[in-house]
């Protein structure tokens, strides 16, 4: 999360957009920005996971057998003010990549399309993937992709998660493997996604590592926010 | 208030400045354009009366279904009133952004920051150019 935030600050300084595709070294629960830390006690399977608070809102995500992406758009880029269009376009491209793997997914079209009587699929559910809002990615009735945005003055980050398979830390959530019986090859998926994003968003992609300045920003942000226990527990 | 009576920040907050007992008081809100762009608002966190605000610095945060954004003060001063009913009635921001959807009232410490704000016509042009 600190790297994402550092890339967002850096993007606004350099004018360059950044796409980052990654997974987590250890199963981690990310809380939505406005969620209460104590709410994690409501979710027993993830109690032993590391925890971080995101800069973006929404429900909690268990980052385990999934792919996380982040897209940082500086204010000079036209997409920074077209947040709704960006959201939809990114999800449509994820759907297109999944189709290439033989997986039939689609966007949720309207609120509460799948709300059930037992509280699952509820807009206030603790886990992001138990919520359904228009624009989420579903296979059948199961949500397998979701994203959220955070704006910094005029720059924008959109990040999200694609569930590849069920995690023991969130056993109530099937992933693509369980709902479609297809195993997504992580590297191939990321490569295809990067190509499609670059085509549709009109980006010229150049692979790169964090610069020294981005590493410095990351340390700063980590210390003040994402690696700071007090900040994580502030709500 | 009509939007033509207001000044707008590039970060989409509006301000209306009036004399009140010898003090300059700015009423602050969020533009209709920003509210439409944020789509369905679900949560708003506001500061308390007595808090000092600085132009271009965050005074609160708003969450919509898909996005979280900071709210930036268009003026320098001290908060003298907060629309405390707003977080429980966020739909008012959509129905009356320049009236009942006001967010804060700030006693100005200086009028310098007002020079960086735009009138409605200039703000609309900025939004169109996007």
DSSP conformation class of A223: I
Question: Domain containing A133: what range?
Answer: 2-232
Q: What angle do CA A186, A61, A11 make, to 5 degrees?
A: 70
Tell me the ipTM for this assembly: 0.81
Predicted TM-score (pTM) of this structure:
0.88
Longest dimension (CA), chain B: 43
Residues of A in contact with B66 (CB under 8 A): 58, 83-84, 87, 133, 135, 147-149
Phi, psi of A6, deg, nearest 5: -65, -40
Closest-approach residue (CA) in chain A for B73: A153
- Domain of residue A133, CATH code: 3.30.930.10
Are residues B63 and A133, on separate chains, in Cβ contact within 8 Å? no
* Pairing of β B67-72 and β A155-163: unpaired
Residues of A in contact with B43 (CB under 8 A): 34, 57
pLDDT, one tens digit per residue, over B20-75 is 989 999 999 999 999 988 878 989 999 999 999 999 999 999 998 888 999 999 99
pLDDT, one tens digit per residue, over A2-24 is 999 999 999 988 899 999 999 99
Closest-approach residue (CA) in chain A for B72: A153
CA A45 – CA B129 distance, rounded (Å): 48
Q: How many CB pairs under 8 A join A and B?
A: 54
A73 has a chain B CB within 8 A of its CB:
no
Q: Which domains does chain B have, with CATH numbers?
A: 3-111 (2.40.50.100)
Please give the tally of structural domains in chain A.
1
The verdict on whether A128 is a catalytic residue reads yes
């Amino acid at each position: 999360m600190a790297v994402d935030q550092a890339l967002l600050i850096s993007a606004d300084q350099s004018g360059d957009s950044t796409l980052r595709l990654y997974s987590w070294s250890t199963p981690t629960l990310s809380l939505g920005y406005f969620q209460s830390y104590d709410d994690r006690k409501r979710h027993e399977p993830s109690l032993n996971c590391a925890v971080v608070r995101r800069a973006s809102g929404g429900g909690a995500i268990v980052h385990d057998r999934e792919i996380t992406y982040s897209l940082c758009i500086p204010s000079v880029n036209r997409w920074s003010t077209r947040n709704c269009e960006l959201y939809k376009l990114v999800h449509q491209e994820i759907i297109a990549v999944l189709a290439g793997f033989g997986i039939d997914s689609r966007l949720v079209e309207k609120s509460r399309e799948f709300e059930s009587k037992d509280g699952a699929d509820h807009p206030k559910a603790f886990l992001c993937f138990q919520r359904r809002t228009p624009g989420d990615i579903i296979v059948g009735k199961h949500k397998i992709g979701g994203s959220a945005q955070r704006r910094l003055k005029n720059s924008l980050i959109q990040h999200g998660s694609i569930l590849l398979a069920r995690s023991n830390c969130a056993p109530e959530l099937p992933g693509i493997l369980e709902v479609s019986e297809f195993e997504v090859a992580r590297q191939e998926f990321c490569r295809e996604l990067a190509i499609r994003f670059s085509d549709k968003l009109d980006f010229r992609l150049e692979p790169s590592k964090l610069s020294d300045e981005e590493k410095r920003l990351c340390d700063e942000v980590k210390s003040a926010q994402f690696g700071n226990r007090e900040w994580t527990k502030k709500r | 208030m009509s939007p033509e009576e207001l000044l707008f920040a590039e970060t989409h907050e509006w301000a209306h400045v009036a004399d009140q007992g010898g003090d300059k008081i700015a009423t602050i809100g969020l533009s209709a354009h920003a509210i439409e762009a944020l789509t369905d608002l679900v949560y708003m966190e506001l500061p308390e009366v007595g808090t000092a605000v600085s132009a271009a610095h965050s005074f609160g945060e708003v969450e919509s279904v898909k996005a979280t954004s900071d709210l930036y003060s268009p003026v320098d001063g001290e908060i003298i009133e907060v629309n405390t009913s707003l977080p429980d009635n966020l739909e008012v921001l959509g129905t009356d952004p320049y009236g009942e959807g006001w967010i804060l009232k700030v006693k100005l410490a200086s009028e310098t920051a007002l020079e960086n704000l735009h009138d409605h016509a200039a703000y609309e042009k900025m939004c169109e150019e996007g």
